[in-house]
Amino acid sequence: MSDDETTAPDPDPSPDEEGTPPQKPFEAYPLTREEYIGVITHFYRGELGRAEDWRARLDPTTNWAVVTAGGMLSIAFTSPYRESHVTILLAMILVTVFLGFEARRFRYFDVWRSRVRMIEENFLIPVIRRNLVSPRSDWRDFVALDLDQPTFKITIPQAIGIRLRFNYLWIYYALLLAWIAKLQVHPEGVDTTPARLLRRMQVGPFDGTIVLAAVTLFYVAISILALRGRGRDEIQGVEGKMWQWKR
């Protein structure tokens, strides 16, 4: 008896019976050069689109901070009352809230930005130079691992420092100058006597000395954070320090 006679018929028609070759698993096919370039190109466009979407979300919070600061300053200087300088202190608090929102958004933006820069530095630059040697030979492993287990590339203090350095520090300094000017001119005339300025700084049960110390510590803290944000921005990232990619 032949093998054909002993083999039971397959209830479902196989690809061979239909005249088509059997299908191999995806992993069995080698990746051609054209396929690789096409995948990387589409991947780059997708990551660039994500980065652009998150970058567009950064500007609204800055606009909210500017509008809030301007509105609170107009209220403070139209009121001659002694307690109206508190309005400027409240503006500092609200701007800090917006800064926190923007720092969080910047961390998400930096995830996509870092991937975009990694592809540009290690794929596009060699293609443009026609020297098909990537500066970092293991860049694909880092990108693949980051796709599997995404992580933030910068910490919250670093994100706050970056946004302070480029946007919010100037808003805070404008509020500080306005606060000092407000204390000098209101509630009565221009007065630069330190003792009287301290009395005007009083906020409810808090003595002027406590308020001055709190404001001083706050501005020292944001200045230090802004200095720590030097050397980092939306263009120059952390691709040179790959330990940032995985913590």
How far is residue 122's CA from residue 156's CA, in Å, rounded to a whole number?
Answer: 28
Say whether pLDDT at 5 is over 80. Answer: no
Q: Look at 90 and 30; give whichever has higher pLDDT.
A: 90
Say whether pLDDT at 231 is over 60. Answer: no
- Give the largest CA-CA distance in the chain: 118
Q: What is the pLDDT of residue 192?
A: 66
How far is residue 177's CA from residue 193's CA, in Å, rounded to a whole number?
Answer: 17
| Residue 49, in any domain of the structure | yes
| Residue 125, in any domain of the structure | yes
CA distances from 102 to 4, 140, 152 (A): 72, 30, 15
| Residue 38, in any domain of the structure | yes
| Residue 193, in any domain of the structure | yes
| Residue 26, in any domain of the structure | no
Q: Report the number of distinct structural domains present in the chain.
A: 1
Residues 181-217 have pLDDT tens digits of 888 876 666 666 777 777 777 777 878 788 889 999 9
The residue-averaged pLDDT of 158-185 equals: 89
Q: What is the pLDDT of residue 244?
A: 59
CA distances from 46 to 8, 116, 153, 172 (A): 50, 9, 19, 36
Residue 113's domain spans which residues?
Answer: 31-238
Q: What is the pLDDT of residue 191?
A: 62
Q: Global pTM?
A: 0.77
Comparing 17-21, 101-105, 155-159, 198-202, which segment has the lowest mean pLDDT?
Answer: 17-21
